Amino acid sequence: NFMLTQPQSMSESPGKTVTISCTRSSGSIVSSYVQWYQLRPGSAPTTVIYEDNQRPYGVPDRFSGSIDSSSNSASLTISGLRTEDEADYYCQTYDISTHVVLFGGGTTLTVL
Amino acid sequence: QLQLQESGPGLLKASETLSLTCTVSGDSIIGRYFWGWIRQSPGKGLEWIATISHSGKTYYNPSLKSRVAISVDTSKNQVSLNLGSVTAADTALYYCARQYPYNWNPNWVDPWGQGALVTVSS
Protein backbone atom coordinates (compact mmCIF):
# COMPACT_ATOMS: atom_id res chain seq x y z
CA ASN A 1 0.00 0.00 0.00
CA PHE A 2 0.93 3.61 -0.43
CA MET A 3 1.15 6.23 2.34
CA LEU A 4 -0.39 9.65 2.82
CA THR A 5 1.99 12.21 4.33
CA GLN A 6 0.82 15.36 6.09
CA PRO A 7 2.77 18.03 7.97
CA GLN A 8 2.68 17.22 11.67
CA SER A 9 1.68 20.71 12.75
CA MET A 10 0.86 24.13 11.39
CA SER A 11 0.15 27.46 13.00
CA GLU A 12 -1.51 30.60 11.69
CA SER A 13 -3.22 33.72 12.94
CA PRO A 14 -6.97 34.38 13.00
CA GLY A 15 -8.25 35.78 9.74
CA LYS A 16 -5.41 34.31 7.71
CA THR A 17 -5.43 31.40 5.27
CA VAL A 18 -3.76 28.03 5.79
CA THR A 19 -3.27 25.15 3.39
CA ILE A 20 -2.66 21.61 4.66
CA SER A 21 -1.10 19.18 2.21
CA CYS A 22 -1.54 15.42 1.89
CA THR A 23 0.99 13.74 -0.39
CA ARG A 24 0.50 10.26 -1.80
CA SER A 25 3.69 8.18 -1.82
CA SER A 26 2.95 6.05 -4.89
CA GLY A 27 0.21 5.69 -7.43
CA SER A 28 -1.81 8.63 -8.69
CA ILE A 29 -3.62 10.95 -6.31
CA VAL A 30 -6.47 11.15 -8.81
CA SER A 31 -7.11 7.41 -8.81
CA SER A 32 -9.27 7.59 -5.68
CA TYR A 33 -11.22 10.29 -3.90
CA VAL A 34 -9.69 12.17 -0.95
CA GLN A 35 -11.63 13.20 2.14
CA TRP A 36 -10.67 15.53 5.01
CA TYR A 37 -11.83 15.15 8.61
CA GLN A 38 -11.69 17.52 11.57
CA LEU A 39 -11.06 16.11 15.05
CA ARG A 40 -11.59 18.22 18.14
CA PRO A 41 -11.00 16.81 21.66
CA GLY A 42 -14.17 15.41 23.14
CA SER A 43 -16.11 15.51 19.88
CA ALA A 44 -16.83 12.98 17.16
CA PRO A 45 -14.80 13.51 13.99
CA THR A 46 -16.58 15.47 11.28
CA THR A 47 -16.10 15.67 7.53
CA VAL A 48 -15.06 19.02 6.13
CA ILE A 49 -14.35 17.86 2.55
CA TYR A 50 -15.38 14.70 0.70
CA GLU A 51 -14.65 13.42 -2.80
CA ASP A 52 -11.70 15.79 -3.28
CA ASN A 53 -13.54 19.11 -3.15
CA GLN A 54 -17.13 18.67 -1.97
CA ARG A 55 -18.37 20.30 1.23
CA PRO A 56 -20.98 18.54 3.34
CA TYR A 57 -24.08 20.49 4.23
CA GLY A 58 -23.30 22.91 7.03
CA VAL A 59 -19.55 23.21 6.42
CA PRO A 60 -18.73 26.86 5.65
CA ASP A 61 -17.22 27.78 2.31
CA ARG A 62 -14.09 28.88 4.15
CA PHE A 63 -13.11 25.22 3.76
CA SER A 64 -12.06 24.04 0.32
CA GLY A 65 -10.30 21.00 -1.12
CA SER A 66 -8.18 20.52 -4.19
CA ILE A 67 -6.03 17.98 -6.00
CA ASP A 68 -2.66 18.64 -7.66
CA SER A 69 -1.51 15.92 -10.01
CA SER A 70 1.92 17.49 -10.48
CA SER A 71 2.80 17.09 -6.80
CA ASN A 72 0.59 14.02 -6.36
CA SER A 73 -1.09 15.64 -3.43
CA ALA A 74 -4.39 16.84 -2.06
CA SER A 75 -4.83 20.06 -0.12
CA LEU A 76 -7.25 21.45 2.42
CA THR A 77 -7.44 25.24 2.50
CA ILE A 78 -9.08 27.12 5.32
CA SER A 79 -9.54 30.83 4.81
CA GLY A 80 -10.58 33.47 7.32
CA LEU A 81 -9.24 31.34 10.14
CA ARG A 82 -11.16 31.32 13.39
CA THR A 83 -10.10 30.03 16.78
CA GLU A 84 -12.70 27.27 16.51
CA ASP A 85 -10.84 25.90 13.48
CA GLU A 86 -8.08 24.80 15.86
CA ALA A 87 -8.16 21.02 15.59
CA ASP A 88 -6.48 17.97 14.10
CA TYR A 89 -7.11 17.41 10.40
CA TYR A 90 -6.75 14.07 8.63
CA CYS A 91 -6.83 13.23 4.95
CA GLN A 92 -8.18 9.84 3.86
CA THR A 93 -8.45 7.83 0.69
CA TYR A 94 -8.60 4.20 -0.37
CA ASP A 95 -6.53 1.80 -2.42
CA ILE A 96 -8.67 0.70 -5.36
CA SER A 97 -6.66 -2.48 -5.88
CA THR A 98 -6.74 -3.76 -2.31
CA HIS A 99 -9.89 -1.95 -1.04
CA VAL A 100 -7.89 -0.72 1.95
CA VAL A 101 -8.81 2.57 3.61
CA LEU A 102 -5.85 4.82 4.41
CA PHE A 103 -5.50 7.89 6.61
CA GLY A 104 -2.76 10.45 6.65
CA GLY A 105 -0.82 10.96 9.86
CA GLY A 106 -2.85 14.04 10.78
CA THR A 107 -1.99 17.74 11.10
CA THR A 108 -2.47 19.71 14.28
CA LEU A 109 -3.63 23.20 13.39
CA THR A 110 -3.08 25.95 15.92
CA VAL A 111 -4.86 29.26 15.46
CA LEU A 112 -3.36 32.01 17.58
CA GLN B 1 -30.77 12.02 11.75
CA LEU B 2 -28.44 9.04 11.78
CA GLN B 3 -26.79 8.31 15.13
CA LEU B 4 -24.18 5.73 15.99
CA GLN B 5 -23.49 4.59 19.55
CA GLU B 6 -20.57 2.35 20.40
CA SER B 7 -20.58 0.10 23.43
CA GLY B 8 -17.97 -2.21 24.83
CA PRO B 9 -16.11 -3.49 27.90
CA GLY B 10 -13.94 -0.45 28.58
CA LEU B 11 -11.19 -2.48 30.21
CA LEU B 12 -9.83 -5.91 29.36
CA LYS B 13 -6.68 -7.92 29.88
CA ALA B 14 -4.00 -8.83 27.41
CA SER B 15 -4.78 -11.93 25.31
CA GLU B 16 -8.55 -11.48 25.71
CA THR B 17 -10.96 -10.79 22.87
CA LEU B 18 -12.39 -7.31 22.46
CA SER B 19 -16.05 -7.19 21.43
CA LEU B 20 -17.63 -3.90 20.45
CA THR B 21 -21.15 -3.15 19.30
CA CYS B 22 -22.41 -0.17 17.35
CA THR B 23 -26.13 0.54 17.58
CA VAL B 24 -27.43 2.50 14.62
CA SER B 25 -30.52 4.67 15.00
CA GLY B 26 -32.28 6.94 12.57
CA ASP B 27 -31.88 4.63 9.59
CA SER B 28 -31.71 0.96 8.72
CA ILE B 29 -28.30 -0.62 8.23
CA ILE B 30 -29.90 -2.53 5.36
CA GLY B 31 -29.29 -0.15 2.55
CA ARG B 32 -26.72 1.14 0.15
CA TYR B 33 -24.12 2.08 2.73
CA PHE B 34 -21.10 0.34 4.19
CA TRP B 35 -20.29 0.29 7.92
CA GLY B 36 -16.85 0.47 9.46
CA TRP B 37 -14.65 0.68 12.53
CA ILE B 38 -11.74 3.07 12.98
CA ARG B 39 -9.55 3.62 16.03
CA GLN B 40 -7.19 6.19 17.47
CA SER B 41 -4.55 5.15 19.95
CA PRO B 42 -3.43 7.68 22.57
CA GLY B 43 -1.27 10.33 20.98
CA LYS B 44 -1.47 8.69 17.56
CA GLY B 45 -3.40 9.05 14.35
CA LEU B 46 -6.48 7.39 12.92
CA GLU B 47 -6.25 3.75 11.90
CA TRP B 48 -8.91 2.01 9.81
CA ILE B 49 -9.78 -1.44 11.15
CA ALA B 50 -12.56 -2.97 9.07
CA THR B 51 -15.60 -2.35 6.89
CA ILE B 52 -18.63 -4.41 5.93
CA SER B 53 -20.77 -3.76 2.88
CA HIS B 54 -24.53 -3.82 2.65
CA SER B 55 -24.26 -7.28 1.07
CA GLY B 56 -21.98 -8.62 3.78
CA LYS B 57 -18.67 -8.35 1.96
CA THR B 58 -15.89 -7.58 4.44
CA TYR B 59 -12.76 -5.49 4.11
CA TYR B 60 -9.93 -5.61 6.66
CA ASN B 61 -6.78 -3.71 7.48
CA PRO B 62 -4.03 -6.16 6.46
CA SER B 63 -2.11 -5.47 9.68
CA LEU B 64 -5.09 -6.59 11.80
CA LYS B 65 -6.80 -9.07 9.48
CA SER B 66 -5.69 -12.20 11.33
CA ARG B 67 -7.34 -11.01 14.57
CA VAL B 68 -10.41 -9.09 13.39
CA ALA B 69 -13.98 -9.92 12.44
CA ILE B 70 -16.75 -7.47 11.54
CA SER B 71 -20.41 -8.43 11.29
CA VAL B 72 -23.92 -7.01 11.25
CA ASP B 73 -27.11 -7.97 13.05
CA THR B 74 -29.91 -6.61 10.91
CA SER B 75 -32.59 -7.58 13.44
CA LYS B 76 -30.97 -5.28 16.02
CA ASN B 77 -29.62 -2.71 13.56
CA GLN B 78 -26.14 -3.25 14.96
CA VAL B 79 -22.60 -3.56 13.65
CA SER B 80 -20.11 -5.55 15.70
CA LEU B 81 -16.34 -5.84 15.89
CA ASN B 82 -14.30 -8.62 17.44
CA LEU B 83 -10.55 -8.23 17.93
CA GLY B 84 -8.71 -11.22 19.32
CA SER B 85 -5.50 -11.62 21.33
CA VAL B 86 -5.39 -7.97 22.35
CA THR B 87 -2.28 -6.29 23.72
CA ALA B 88 -1.59 -2.88 25.21
CA ALA B 89 -1.07 -1.66 21.65
CA ASP B 90 -4.80 -2.12 21.06
CA THR B 91 -5.63 0.49 23.70
CA ALA B 92 -7.54 3.12 21.77
CA LEU B 93 -10.72 5.08 21.15
CA TYR B 94 -12.77 2.92 18.79
CA TYR B 95 -15.15 4.67 16.40
CA CYS B 96 -18.06 3.20 14.51
CA ALA B 97 -18.96 4.95 11.29
CA ARG B 98 -21.04 4.82 8.15
CA GLN B 99 -19.14 4.71 4.87
CA TYR B 100 -20.29 5.77 1.45
CA PRO B 101 -19.11 3.23 -1.12
CA TYR B 102 -17.61 4.16 -4.45
CA ASN B 103 -17.23 1.42 -7.03
CA TRP B 104 -17.32 -1.11 -4.21
CA ASN B 105 -14.55 0.67 -2.34
CA PRO B 106 -15.10 1.89 1.25
CA ASN B 107 -14.99 5.60 0.59
CA TRP B 108 -16.17 8.63 2.57
CA VAL B 109 -16.68 8.12 6.32
CA ASP B 110 -19.68 9.99 7.71
CA PRO B 111 -21.05 10.23 10.30
CA TRP B 112 -18.85 8.93 13.09
CA GLY B 113 -19.94 7.77 16.53
CA GLN B 114 -18.61 9.40 19.67
CA GLY B 115 -16.21 6.53 20.19
CA ALA B 116 -15.70 3.87 22.85
CA LEU B 117 -12.53 3.96 24.92
CA VAL B 118 -10.89 0.58 25.34
CA THR B 119 -7.95 0.01 27.65
CA VAL B 120 -5.95 -3.20 27.60
CA SER B 121 -4.02 -3.99 30.75
CA SER B 122 -1.02 -6.24 30.82
Whether residues A104 and B111 touch (CB distance < 8 A) is answered with: no
Evaluate whether A5 touches A23 at the Cβ level (below 8 Å): yes
List chain B pLDDT tens, one digit each, 122 residues. 899 999 999 999 999 999 999 999 998 998 889 999 999 999 999 999 999 998 899 999 999 999 999 999 999 999 999 999 999 999 999 999 999 998 888 889 999 999 999 999 98
SS3 content of chain A, % helix, strand, coil (to 5): 5, 50, 45
**Any A CB within 8 A of B93 CB:** no
Label residue A11 by pLDDT band (50, 70, 90).
very high
Give the residues across from B46 on adjacent strands: B40
Q: Nearest residue of B to residue A1 by CA position?
A: B62
**What's the confidence (pLDDT) of residue A49?**
98
Q: How far is B25 from chain A (nearest CA, A)?
A: 16
Q: What is the pLDDT of residues A15-44, one digit of tens each?
A: 999 999 999 999 999 999 999 999 998 899
Whether residues B109 and A92 touch (CB distance < 8 A) is answered with: yes
Q: What average pLDDT does the segment A51-69 reach?
A: 97
**Any A CB within 8 A of B63 CB:** no
Whether residues A33 and B108 touch (CB distance < 8 A) is answered with: yes
Label residue A1 by pLDDT band (50, 70, 90).
confident
Strand intervals (E) in chain A? 4-5, 9-12, 18-24, 35-39, 46-49, 63-68, 73-78, 87-95, 100-103, 107-111
| DSSP of B15-84 | TS-EEEEEEEESS-SSSS-EEEEEEE-TTS-EEEEEEE-TTS-EEE-TTTTTTEEEEEETTTTEEEEEE-
**What's the confidence (pLDDT) of residue B122?**
86
What distances in angstroms separate CA A30 from CA B29, B51, B73, B119, one per listed residue?
A: 30, 23, 36, 38
Whether residues B105 and A98 touch (CB distance < 8 A) is answered with: no
- For residues B8 and B26, give the distance between their C-alpha atoms in angstroms, rounded to a whole number: 21
